[in-house]
Structure 1
Amino acid sequence: MKLDYMLDHIPENIRQHTTKRTFQPGDVVVRKGEKADHVYILTAGKLRVSNEFESGQRYTFASLEVPDMIGDLEVLAEQEHFAATNEAVTECQVLSLTADTFLHWMKTDNDFAVAVAKLLAAKMYPTSNEAGRVKFQPSQERFEEYLAKRLGDIETDLFILHTSRQQIADDIGTSVKTVNRCVTKMRDDGDLSLLHGKITLNREQQARLRAVWKNEP
């Protein structure tokens, strides 16, 4: 039984202890280090998950979409604080419930417990499968792979990437300075162009990028 179906059939004794909340783009739902005493079930919108380090650098490593959860891992692992920051990318709606209510629901509803376990497994598998890959992949390769993924299957005479350099740095786990260095190298090699500071790819550049990264996941 899928979690989104179960959200439409929440036991009344659980529903009475839930709260609906709305977050606007840019709002922080939870911040790394805050007390993990609630679980949030995403019912609408998209979230960005990132880790912030003492150096001030931020690494965005995942995104959450309906019906993902925030805080389920921390509560089940009996951790007191949230491990990552979750920020709204679009307008988001969540169902908020205390850690105790969440655990009670799991203990008294086997279908819900299985649905949560499957959701956790789906989130953790890609992390395990890619463990260490980013750490040891050169920044230039990370940037080019990121660009190829953003290009995807788009067919256009001129692809324009509207993402800021800071966001690119966050997404690939590096600094803006390093991103700028990667952009400069690709521009000097003729593999990308700039339009008012925005990264662009003409059809020839798109083809070259796809040829290099077409076999990447």
Structure 2
Amino acid sequence: MDNIENDNVYNFLNELHGTAKDYLNKYLSQAPDWLLDSIQIVKTKKNTTFIRENEKVDFVYILAEGIVKAIDYRFLGNSYDYMWFYPVKTFGGMEILLELDHFQTTLSTMTSCKMLVIPKNIFEKWMKSDINALSMEVKTMGSFLLEEVKRERVFLFIQGSDRVIYILTHLYEQTAIDNVCIIKVTHQDLADSTGLSIKTINRSLKKLEEEAYISRSGNKIIIKETQYKKMKEIVDQNHGN
């Protein structure tokens, strides 16, 4: 991890926005002092691999800001980004609840990120004593797995720009603040996530911009609420809704 900030947890939470702030306030609402005292607030730079598959679980990482990707290095001998994570997501929690000693995937930051880092034994003790936090953790884990199954099913039937639209609407839903989403991920990240070529990504983004589904400023993709709703209609049609 790149930089550890010595800060009060509640001061940090007050600096957050939107659903991440609401979720963490509820998640930690019954947290004992011994848990809060153990938390480190850690800032990581973009493209930092902070967990590797088969490493021993010594700490649990709670994503509060930024985007993280899961990487599989066994796919045809190349690295393959097969999953993106948004706040709030706990890394290591699933392994602890399933009584697994080692991390099950490699994780790297796609953007600069801020995380709460908790020693494994402290997190495990907390889960056993706080039914509110345990219930939220299990619900979040189950909802995420269902969403991933849904995404994989959708991707079997859509191609090209429709895949890009699907990813962009999901990014809006997960990261928009005040009804505006500013996307800083690279075209390579979008290509890796969708299984499309860089050429197809560039062509799709150009078409979406020309048709006013998105705006761009330098390397940033900007999506306003009205644009999101237009793209969401396309996603819903692909879902058969």
Q: Please name the residue that 2:71 is paired with.
A: 51
Distance in 1, Cα, partners of 2:138 & 2:208: 42
Q: How does 1:68-87 map to 2 (within 5 A)?
A: 68-87=89-108
Instruction: Give the alignment partner of residue 168 of structure 1, picking from 190, 193, 196.
Output: 190
Instruction: Return the TM-score normalized by structure 2.
Output: 0.62
Once the two structures are TM-superposed, the CA of residue 74 in structure 1 deviates from its matched residue by 1.6
Distance in 2, Cα, partners of 1:89 & 1:34: 20
Q: How does 1:44-193 map to 2 (within 5 A)?
A: 44-54=64-74, 55-65=77-87, 67-131=88-152, 133-134=154-155, 136-137=156-157, 141-149=158-166, 164-172=186-194, 174=195, 176=197, 179-180=198-199, 182=200
Distance in 2, Cα, partners of 1:76 & 1:69: 12
Structure 1 SS opposite 2:68: strand
Q: Please name the residue that 1:202 is paired with.
A: 210
The residue type equivalent to 1:215 in the other structure is: Q
Question: What are the ranges of 5 or more consecutive residues in structure 2 without an aligned counterpart?
Answer: 1-21, 173-182, 215-229
Larger Rg: 1
Q: Please name the residue that 2:18 is paired with.
A: none
The residue type equivalent to 1:51 in the other structure is: I
Is the CA contact 2:111–2:185 (under 8 Å) kept in the aligned structure 1?
A: no
Percent sequence identity is: 18
Is the CA contact 1:32–1:84 (under 8 Å) kept in the aligned structure 2?
A: yes
Structure 2 SS opposite 1:97: strand
Instruction: Return the TM-score normalized by structure 1.
Output: 0.67
Structure ranking higher in helix proportion: 2
Is the CA contact 1:31–1:85 (under 8 Å) kept in the aligned structure 2?
A: yes
Distance in 2, Cα, partners of 1:201 & 1:56: 31
Instruction: Give the alignment partner of residue 45 of structure 2, picking from 24, 27, 34.
Output: 24
Q: Please name the residue that 2:28 is paired with.
A: 7
Does the C-alpha gap of structure 1 residues 52 and 193 become closer, same or farther in structure 2, counting only changes over 3 Å? closer
Once the two structures are TM-superposed, the CA of residue 129 in structure 1 deviates from its matched residue by 3.2
Is the CA contact 1:3–1:115 (under 8 Å) kept in the aligned structure 2?
A: no
The residue type equivalent to 1:170 in the other structure is: D
